[in-house]
Structures are given as C-alpha cells and as structure tokens.
Amino acid sequence: MTHDTDTAADPRFAALPTRPGKVIAVHLSYASRADQRGRRPAQPSYFLKPSSTLAPTDGVLVRPAGTELLAFEGEIALVIGTPAHRVTLADAWAHVGWVTASNDVGVYDLRAVDKGSNVRSKGRDGFTPIGPGLIDARTVDPAALRVRTWVDGVLAQDDTTADLIFPLAQIVADLAQHMTLERGDVILTGTPAGSSVVRPGSVVEVEVDAPDAAGSPTSGRLRSRVVEGDDVFDETLGSLPAVDDTQRAEAWGSREEAGLPPLPRPFALDDDLRAKLALTPVAGLSAQLRKRGLNNVTIDGVRPLHPDQKLVGLAKTLRFLPHREDLFASHGGGYNAQKRAFDDVRPGEVIVIEARGESGSGTLGDILALRAQARGAAGVVTDGGVRDADAVTAVGIPVYTVGAHPAVLGRRHVPWDVDVTIACGGTVVQPGDVIVGDADGVIVIPPALVAEVVEAALAQEEEDAWVADRVREGHPVDGLFPPNEEWKARYRAWRETN
C-alpha cells in the first residue's frame, strides 16, 4: 500500500492510503445488535461522518464537558481500493482494498436533535479511531471476519460477519448504486451487541481479524484512552446535551446495565387465564363486553378453517394497504412487513391482518401458515383471503378468513407495517389485545378487562346451563329466561348445595 504525501504527514490518516473523501456508517447491521435493540431493519440505512472525525491508534477519546453517555462501538472498517459505481453484488468485494478496525464513538447526549443523522453525536473530531494496520481484502473471506472490543482489558464485544443482517458486499453494492465510492473512502459496517458507555480513565481496544484465513491476518489493537474534555457548549448557538432514560438504556445496552428499573411488563396470558378463555364461548364473552359498554369488538365476516378449534392468544398486528404499483415495488418485495410478521410472531400470539375486507387475493398461504405454526403462534385472523386454502387447513393451525382466493398478495395489497393499531373486520385491534375465536366468530378483549370478563362469562355460562336444564324439565321460558327474582333465588339455593 502506498500513502499520499499529506496522509503520511497527518497521524489521523496514517493507517490509510489517503485521506478519505467520505466516511459512511451503517446504522444497524448485526443480528445481535438488532435483537438487543428490539428492531430489525428490512434494508440497510446509513449516515455520513466527516473525515476530520478520524483518529489514530493510541490516541484519546474526549468526552465533551457536561455530557454523560460516551459510548464505544467496535466495528469493521472497509477501505475502498478502486472506484465503485453501480457495481454488481458479485463484483462489489473486488472494489474493497483493505479491512481494518474502527471505533464509531458517539455521545448519546446529543442524539435527540440529530434524528439519525448523527452529525453532533458522532461527527466530533477524534470520534472515529481507525487502524492501526490494514488487512488485504483479497486475502480474506468477507463472511468470516471477526471484530472484538475490550474495555480495560475485559472483552466486551465478540462477533463475526456471519452474524450480519446485510453482507458486506451488499453494503458496498448498495452504496455504489447511489454514489461513486472512491479510493480511500471508508465504510463503517456497524457494531454488534455489547456496545456500552465508557468513562474518563477507561481504555478501549478494538481488533479485526480473519482467524480462518491463511496466516490469521489482523488489524492489530486499535487503542484509545478516554479523557474528560473542558470545552463548553454555547447555548446561544444550538442544541445542548440532554439525556433521558431511553438514551441511557440505548447507550449502556440495556436498562439493567444503565442502572434503571425495569419497565412494567406487558400484559401476558398466564396458563390459568388462557385455560379459562379456552372454556368460555365467544358469545358469552361478547355478552359481558356489551354489559360494559363495548359493542364493536367482534371481527366480522371471518370464518374458521377449523370450526372445532378454539383460538386464544394476544394480537400481533399486520397491516396491508390497497395495491399501488410504485408502493408494491418499494415495500412488497424482499423481507417485507408480511414476512417479518410471520418470522417474528411469538408463542401464543395471534397474527391479526388488516386487509380491508378485500378477498380478491391471498394474505397468507401454506408456507406462512407453516412458519406461524413453527414459531408457536396461536393462530391467524385475516379479513382478507387465504391462498392454498386446503394446504393451509392441513397445517392445522387455527385460521379465520373471509374465504379462499388463488391470487398472490400483489394483486390487491401492499404489505405495509407491523405492530400498529389496525382495523380488522370492522373493529379496532391493538398489539397485545386478547383474541378469542370459536365457531361463532372472533372477539377482541382489552387486556385490562379480560380477567373480569372471563370470570363473569363463566359464571353466566353456569347459570345458563342451569336454566337450560329447567327448560328440559318442561318449565316455560317466561320468567325463567332471563330469570326473574324467583328463579334467581332458586338458582342461588341450587349453587349453595352443589
């Protein structure tokens, strides 16, 4: 590798062939980090950092005065060797000249106003240590690189590019379809789980290597020492540092690591409540909700593929929009919202689909029904059609639909988003609502009411069964159904002795 003259004279760029024209960073790329954050992107997204943010190894990281949350992010840095513009996925890696270690440092105190651009939070001088050595990209497999980070000698991050959501070559090819990547440009490829906050006095070390390649090439240890800065922000110029518990949890990696109390646990159906709901007819639940002023809680127009099966679970929502060609082109392909919903559904959840009552195409087929079953889903409710209806029925998972249709999704729908409030079959469904279905239909129960409603419905079922026995004995329904005070007294006496 040859250095430009000005690069060799400037220690910030000593590890690089030239001062980069662009430093591009990926927001979220490792599955371990996505799992930690609780969100997995469908496509890679990026932000730009100035080349003045680069720093040499054995340098210092300055935590700005008045800030709290300086976080390290050990990353694999790609250095472009030959210009790339509109290259294919197969050819993209050939334009990467070198691989090295980097630390995409950020101050979470300054993120709020940046809104993802990271100009203030990650663009400061010295916030991208890089180096010390370069690995020849031709000698390594981009799917078998490793990045590790140590804080004060303790291993904090350890992951490989096999865990990437978006392969390195895809990132290069994607960027190259939007801009020309020039020799020396740096791509920071995202950080795995384990990124956290460091304080003045700590030493952060990052190393990238290819342990399975010949000679086990390595970047060497990129070492940075954290110090306290004495610069002061001018409140008359712009945003000042500010933190909240959300930023603290993200900077530290979790609420627990940040020393914050856990958030209230979301509503969960325990085994006892689930069993009671399984015993309670939807008609009885509907009557009890009506008594409490909730009349529009049935998902109308849907029928079960398995009328003999009971459906009980918590709603996971999926929303389709009416078909529009340009929107389907941008949202319908790849890892779209429909696929994400079925991949992410948790045991005991019911996938509830808003399809606007449009039955002119399928909203799921046998493959997705199998995926829901494999994930432990309680069932699927859609106010749209089902494709491969016989095969979906054969899977055995409870499915409610307006009917069968052979057409694929793109005929009528665009898969749009998940885990949002939707309208299904004429009623509102929110993520986490309790869904119960039987041969009569499907009902939506607010979690705050479910325990009260199911107890009342079971009590009513017992009373109705006693009334039915009296009718079988020959008693007329007048005064018995519903029971008047005399029959209520008889029922109470019966309960006391039975």
Q: Which residues are annotated as a binding site for Mg(2+)?
A: 388
Q: At what angle do helices 485-497 and 447-472 cross, to 10 degrees?
A: 100
Residues 6+ apart with CB under 8 A from 331: 337, 414, 415, 416
DSSP code of residue 477: S
Q: How far apart are CA 297 and CA 268, in angstroms?
A: 20
Residue 171 to residues 176, 180, 384, 386, Cα–Cα distance (Å): 9, 13, 36, 36
**With contact defined as beta carbons under 8 Å apart, do 409 and 355 qualify?**
no
**With contact defined as beta carbons under 8 Å apart, do 442 and 380 qualify?**
no
The letter for the amino acid at 412 is R
* Residue in 12, 116, 112, 4 with CA at minimum distance from that of residue 67: 112
The residues that bridge with 135 in the sheet, in sequence order, are: 99
Buried b (16+ CB within 10 A) or exposed e, 149-184: bbbeeeebbebbbeebbbbbbbbbbbbbeeeebebb
Is the backbone of residue 149 left (phi > 0), alpha (psi -120 to 50) or beta?
beta
Residue 30 neighbours by CB distance under 10 Å = 25
Residues 6+ apart with CB under 8 A from 18: 3, 4, 7, 183, 184
Q: How far apart are CA 309 and CA 263, in angstroms?
A: 35
Residue labelled with tokens 């509830």: 352
Q: What is the dihedral of CA 9, 10, 11, 15, to 10 degrees?
A: -80
In the annotated binding site for substrate, the residues are 365-368, 387
In the annotated binding site, the residues are 365-368, 387-388
Q: How far apart are CA 15 and CA 19, in angstroms?
A: 10
Of all helices (H) and strands (E), which one includes residue 426? none
How do 135-136 and 96-103 pair as beta strands?
antiparallel
How do 311-322 and 434-438 pair as beta strands?
antiparallel
